[in-house]
């Protein structure tokens, strides 16, 4: 158990809809990272937050947004969903920003029908 929690575990929704994925980092960790894992694209970095502030962006679509709250939990919002957005979404955390040793949560499996 990494100490990172993600909810929900599974999510099934229709195209065009909007969903919110939630992540609670390990106790004491200030940095949160979001990744998307799909069969065709592999594991891709989306966005990084440190202590409430956006720190780095990766291959995140404009339809996706995220934020980190004062209690350090983070949410990833996915809107106007397309079939291709079906994937596993992982949250990871670390104490310091930009750490390469990151603790990953169990993921949220999103299925868009």
Partner 1 sequence: GESVGLHLPTLSVQEGDNSIINCAYSNSASDYFIWYKQESGKGPQFIIDIRSNMDKRQGQRVTVLLNKTVKHLSLQIAATQPGDSAVYFCAETRGSQGNLIFGKGTKLSVKP
**What residues line the site for partner 1 (CB under 8 A)?**
2, 4, 33, 42-45, 48, 55-56, 58, 90, 92, 97-107
The least distance separating partner 1 from the CB of residue 49, rounded to whole angstroms, comes to 12
68 or 107: CB nearest partner 1: 107
Residue appearing with tokens 């100490």:
3
The least distance separating partner 1 from the CB of residue 99, rounded to whole angstroms, comes to 6
79 or 86: CB nearest partner 1: 86
Name, in order, each residue with C-beta under 8 angstroms of 65's C-beta and a sequence gap of 6 or more. 76, 77, 79
The least distance separating partner 1 from the CB of residue 17, rounded to whole angstroms, comes to 25
The least distance separating partner 1 from the CB of residue 18, rounded to whole angstroms, comes to 24
14 or 100: CB nearest partner 1: 100
Q: What is the torsion angle, in degrees rounded to the nearest 10, for the CA atoms of residue 23, residue 29, residue 34 and residue 35?
A: -110
- Edge-to-edge strand order for the sheet containing 5-7? 5-7, 19-24, 74-78, 64-68
Q: What is the torsion angle, in degrees rounded to the nearest 10, for the CA atoms of residue 12, residue 59, residue 52 and residue 76?
A: -10
């Amino acid at each position: 158990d990494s100490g990172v929690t993600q909810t929900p575990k599974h999510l099934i929704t229709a195209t065009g809809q909007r969903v919110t994925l939630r992540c609670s980092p390990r106790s004491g960790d200030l940095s949160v990272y979001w990744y998307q894992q799909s069969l065709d694209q592999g594991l891709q970095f989306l966005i990084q937050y440190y202590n409430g502030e956006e720190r780095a962006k990766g291959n995140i679509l404009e339809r996706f947004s995220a934020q980190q709250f004062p209690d350090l939990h983070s949410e990833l919002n996915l809107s106007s969903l397309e079939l291709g957005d079906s994937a596993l979404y992982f949250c990871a955390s670390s104490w310091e920003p930009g750490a390469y040793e990151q603790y990953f949560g169990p993921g949220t499996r999103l299925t868009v029908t």
